[in-house]
């Protein structure tokens, strides 16, 4: 398997014209992030959902610091709020109270449009159900993310080839997702999630739909690729094996962290 030359995102990769189009909060982040101590800082995070008369408190005042380059497993029973927390960190959802800083940006202070831009630049997502675009080839699934980030065509071609080589799918660039196995689809999803060198990778049960051997392959790749970029990773999982790859394990219980095995 070829090596993957992914470099850590830093201020240098933002050309001046590109930087000018970004909201101030995100432009600022590219300057401060290299000296930030924590990639993710959460204070007093609350998320509740209303069902009729009943209010369901899912996250009940969470505090969390994750260092740059750290990999963290997020555990807890079904319904404990793992996906909710990942969606809040990734700016897909908004909290009812509290602050979330990711890569130097106060995500909770951004408008919806700014959050979309922020997510596109700084976050990579991997889901249990792979979520590839079925009408696009493997290469074009990755290209889509690169194009949204303004990567030029030739640079995108190079990057796609590099990543497919890294995930062992160099010969499947023109295949469509429906002819790939689950493990292969998830490897494409990994390449897509990492193609723009995100500061933070959020993975929600990334091995939940895979057999043991495919899960092991995906995990090994995930670990290797994220660590090679110095990226920060948060994985929601029920699996002991996934947790064993991480530097730290957090357990969500009754809206709080019950146990932090790494501190
Ligand atoms: N949009 C929503 N509206 C109402 N309730 C919601 C919404 N999103 C999540 N919830 C509720 O919040 C709780 C936490 O859900 P979440 O999906 O975060 O759990 P989880 O820990 O990821 O579970 P699993 O391990 O099954 O994936 C659940 O009780 C769920 O029903
Ligand atoms: Mg979930």
| Any ligand 1 atom below 6 A from CB of 75 | no
The tokens 């408008």 sit on which residue?
A: 111
* CB 84 within 8 Å of CB 93: yes
| Any ligand 1 atom below 6 A from CB of 42 | no
Closest CA to 231 of 154, 136, 126: 126
Find the 78 Cα to ligand 2 centroid distance in Å.
Answer: 7
Cβ within 8 Å of residue 45, ≥6 positions away? 59, 61, 62, 63, 64, 85, 88, 95, 97, 98, 99, 100
Does 144 reside within a domain?
A: yes
Q: Alpha-carbon distance 20 to 256, whole Å?
A: 39
Instruction: Please indicate whether residue 10 or residue 114 has the higher confidence score (pLDDT).
Output: 114
Find the 136 Cα to ligand 2 centroid distance in Å.
Answer: 26
User: Please, what is the angle between helix 182-194 and helix 138-148, to 10°?
Assistant: 20
Report which ligand 1 atom has the smallest distance to the Cα of 238.
25
Cβ within 8 Å of residue 159, ≥6 positions away? 142, 146, 151, 195
Does 2 reside within a domain?
A: no
Cβ within 8 Å of residue 210, ≥6 positions away? 182, 183, 186, 218
Does 79 reside within a domain?
A: yes
Does 47 reside within a domain?
A: yes
**Mean pLDDT of all residues belonging to the chain:** 86
Q: Alpha-carbon distance 180 to 102, whole Å?
A: 34
Does 6 reside within a domain?
A: no
Whether 258 has a pLDDT exceeding 70, the answer reads yes
Residue 197 in tokens: 């060198």
* CB 237 within 8 Å of CB 243: yes
Which residue out of 57, 84, 208 has the highest number of ligand 1 atoms within 8 Å of its CB and is therefore the one to mutate? Answer: 84
Instruction: Please indicate whether residue 71 or residue 258 has the higher confidence score (pLDDT).
Output: 71
Find the 218 Cα to ligand 1 centroid distance in Å.
Answer: 25
Domain count, the chain: 1
Give the torsion sign (CA, 73, 79, 80, 81).
Answer: positive
* Model confidence pTM above 0.75: yes
Q: Alpha-carbon distance 225 to 220, whole Å?
A: 9
Q: What is the mean pLDDT of residues 149-178?
A: 96
Nearest-CA residue for ligand 1 atom 31 is 79
Domain that residue 203 falls in:
16-257
Which residue out of 58, 93, 235 has the highest number of ligand 1 atoms within 8 Å of its CB and is therefore the one to mutate? Answer: 58
Whether 254 has a pLDDT exceeding 90, the answer reads yes
| Any ligand 1 atom below 6 A from CB of 76 | yes
Whether 114 has a pLDDT exceeding 60, the answer reads yes
Where does the pLDDT of residue 260 fall: very low under 50, low under 70, confident under 90, or very high at 90 and above? Answer: low
Query: What's the CATH code of the domain at 48?
Result: 3.40.50.300
Half-sphere exposure of 116 (CA within 13 A, CB side): 4
Does 8 reside within a domain?
A: no
Does 5 reside within a domain?
A: no
Residue 258 in tokens: 């019950």
| Phi and psi angles of residue 119, each rounded to the nearest 5 degrees, phi first | -65, -45
Q: Alpha-carbon distance 125 to 33, whole Å?
A: 20
pLDDT in tens, 216-245: 999 999 999 999 989 999 999 999 989 999
Task: Give the ligand at the shortest distance from the Cα of 79.
Answer: 1
Does 167 reside within a domain?
A: yes
CB atoms within 10 A of CB 144: 16
* Side-by-side strand order, sheet with 97-102: 54-67, 38-51, 97-102, 105-106
């Amino acid at each position: 398997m070829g090596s993957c030359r992914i470099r850590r995102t830093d201020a240098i990769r933002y050309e001046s014209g590109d930087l000018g189009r970004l909201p101030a909060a995100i432009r600022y982040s590219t300057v401060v992030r290299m000296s930030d101590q924590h990639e993710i800082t959460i204070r007093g995070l609350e998320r509740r959902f209303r069902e009729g008369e009943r209010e369901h408190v899912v996250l009940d005042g969470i505090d969390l610091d994750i260092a740059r380059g750290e990999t963290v497993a997020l555990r807890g029973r079904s319904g404990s709020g793992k996906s909710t927390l990942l969606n809040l960190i990734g700016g897909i959802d908004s909290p009812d109270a509290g602050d979330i800083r990711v890569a130097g940006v106060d995500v909770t202070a951004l408008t919806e449009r700014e959050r979309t831009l922020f997510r596109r630049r700084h976050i990579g997502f991997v889901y249990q159900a792979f979520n590839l675009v079925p009408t696009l080839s493997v290469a074009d699934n990755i290209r889509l993310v690169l194009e949204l980030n303004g990567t030029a065509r030739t640079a995108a071609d190079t990057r796609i080839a590099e990543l497919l080589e890294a995930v062992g799918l160099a010969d499947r660039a023109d295949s469509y997702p429906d002819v790939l196995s689950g493990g292969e689809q998830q490897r494409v999803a990994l390449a897509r999630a990492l193609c723009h060198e995100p500061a933070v990778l959020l993975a929600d049960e990334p091995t939940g739909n895979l057999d043991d051997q495919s899960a092991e392959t995906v995990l090994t790749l995930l670990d290797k690729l994220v660590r090679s970029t110095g990226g920060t990773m948060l994985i929601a999982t029920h699996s002991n094996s996934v947790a064993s790859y991480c530097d730290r394990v957090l357990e969500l219980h009754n809206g709080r962290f019950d146990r932090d095995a790494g501190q």
